Amino acid sequence: MSVALGITRPPLVRSVPVHHAEDLIARLPQAPPYAWVHQGEGLVAWGEAARVSVPPGAGRFDWARRWLAEVFGEAHIDDDVHVPGSGPVAFGSFTFDPDAAGSVLVVPRVVLGRRNGRAWLTTVGEPPIDLVAPAVPPGRVVYGDGSLSAPGWQHAVARAVKDIRAGRLEKVVLARDLLATAEREIDPRVLLERLARAYPDCYTFSCAGLVGATPELLVRHTGESIESLVLAGTTYRGATPAGDRAQAAALFASAKDRHEHACAVASVRDALTPLCASLSVPEEPELLVLPNVQHLASRVRGRLADGASVLDVVAAMHPTAAVGGTPTPVALEVIRELEGMDRAGYAGPVGWIDARGDGEWGIALRCAYVEGRRARLFAGCGIMGGSDPEAELAEAQAKFRVMRYALEG
């Protein structure tokens, strides 16, 4: 009997090649969607063959790995595709704070995948019959303050700067939330379609009500190879190409942003070194240009030493300095003291894992929790000793534009 999968016999998981799957998001039915799409490729899914709330605590990733081993181990797998993401797959979202409840893993009943031009369909048992109904935009959207008003959040930033200058820590990432109420019920498919179209270089995701498009790849695990894209240090897009170049030059010349980026890269390097037989860390960052902002970016690559799964890597890396701070334990204390809210899955790991241990996980940025007509949006900024509260508020507002566009179109 398969207790985890809620059925009385081991399920058959079948992956078969398919055609005409160019637009993954357009194939989603009117059901809670699961998605991980980048430049038109990735996975979308629906239905639930198994779902579990992961207990909070320091061992939550180990618990999740054991649960998945049980679930995947119970299945009869017929995989004619044999690529990362074929066969049984679980989507997951983990809370930023390890002691907070709300982490979840879901094994969908139907997964549609596309990778390197190949497409496939995976079903678990008898798939549900779901019709693809048109997605209706949410209509007019009204916004209100979240846990802190704009002046209140600026005050929190000023307090953080004071702590940094006093030597308590080097960096802390402070986030704020914004509440949105729409005219009609919010269909996540509308948000996913808009995000994937406008931000194809980001990773558009949906899992358990958390929807967004993150620029930050925490880890891609393929066989023994891993890759992480570290982002820290942000500026705006210029109004003209010349303005863009000037903004980029100022970002590269900024001692504050370069130090912030160096802290983030160091935290990733320190987390991955014990797991890897080899690790390549670039000496200088590159520039990642998105429609709304520009980031300093470093692509870290490595080869695992002992065949760890992607969740082992996620456990070692989270939280990075890019979303927590330096040193991390002190930064988490400051976040709890100053933010005045539960981040839930914001800035936590979100992504997917297959039965081979391969997968892709990002940091849940540029995102919102969606429920009915309401959405809770999040944005965060890296605070350093030279940070200006007014400038940090403007940066947070720029980052909110991603999800405001998804809601408003």
Token duo for residue 222: 């393929």
Domain boundaries, the chain: 12-408
* pLDDT value of residue 264: 87
d(CA 227, CA 233): 20
* pLDDT value of residue 280: 95
Check whether domain 12-408 has CATH 3.40.50.2300, yes or no: no
Supply the mean pLDDT for the chain: 92
Listed in sequence order, the DSSP H helices in 200-327 are 241-253, 255-272, 310-317
Q: Band the pLDDT of 3: cuts 50, 70, 90.
A: very low
Q: Band the pLDDT of 317: cuts 50, 70, 90.
A: very high
Mean pLDDT over 63-79 rounds to 94
pLDDT tens per residue, range 18-57 = 987 789 999 999 889 999 999 999 999 999 999 999 999 9
* pLDDT value of residue 4: 52
* pLDDT value of residue 21: 77
Q: Are 393 and 157 in contact (CB under 8 A)?
A: yes
Q: Catalytic: 171?
A: yes
d(CA 15, CA 120): 6
Q: How many residues does the chain have?
A: 409
Whether pLDDT at 118 is above 50: yes
User: 192: Cβ–Cβ under 8 A, 6 or more apart, which residues?
Assistant: 25, 28, 33, 35, 37, 204, 206, 211
Which residue is catalytic, options 216, 260, 339, 392?
216
Whether pLDDT at 9 is above 80: no
Whether pLDDT at 103 is above 70: yes
Mean pLDDT over 133-160 rounds to 96
Mean pLDDT over 338-348 rounds to 96
Measured between alpha carbons, how far apart are the two ends of the chain, in Å?
Answer: 47
Q: Which of 124, 108, 144, 118 is nearest to 28 (CA)?
A: 108
Which residue is catalytic, options 48, 74, 171, 395?
171
Whether pLDDT at 7 is above 60: no
d(CA 249, CA 265): 20
Q: Are 173 and 17 in contact (CB under 8 A)?
A: no
Q: Band the pLDDT of 349: cuts 50, 70, 90.
A: very high
Q: Are 172 and 356 in contact (CB under 8 A)?
A: no
pLDDT tens per residue, range 211-222 = 999 998 999 999
* pLDDT value of residue 2: 45
User: Higher-confidence residue: 273 or 133?
Assistant: 273
Q: What is the per-residue burial (b if ≥16 Cβ within 10 Å, else e) of 142-151?
A: eeeebbbeee
Mean pLDDT over 75-94 rounds to 96
